[in-house]
Amino acid sequence: MNHYTDVLKKYAVFSGRARRQEYWMFFLFNLAAAIILLILDGVLGTSPLLYSLYLLAILLPALGVTIRRLHDTGKSGWWIFIVLVPVVGFIWFIVLLATAGQTQPNEYGADPKAYAA
């Protein structure tokens, strides 16, 4: 839960670096929340109102943490557009997000693992 709130505190921050753990925990929490909201929407008959509002609310934080995750691997945030390449682009994007970050400081900042305790 801590990783989720940390990302929300950096609501529209696109600079710096994000660890793999920060990104993937945020992703998993969002996936669980989206599934719960889809079920709740179905039960209440408001489909897809709650789900859509939630996705809209987390759009900027999700984009920010994704760009910071790319920065951790030494890539520009513009690499997010690799998903537009059919089939291969999505696979390449997942590989980039799952790749370990650079242990040395890069042009986007110091290694975030060095500050984690």
pLDDT in tens, 8-22: 999 999 999 999 999
Give the pLDDT band (50/70/90) at residue 116: low
Given CA atoms 77, 15, 115, 74 in this order, what sign does their dihedral have?
A: positive
Q: What is the pLDDT of residue 117?
A: 53
Nearest CA among 20, 113, 35 for reference residue 65 = 20
Give the pLDDT band (50/70/90) at residue 112: confident
Q: What is the pLDDT of residues 41-88, one digit of tens each?
A: 999 998 889 999 999 999 999 999 999 999 999 999 999 999 999 989
> What value does the mean pLDDT of the chain take?
92
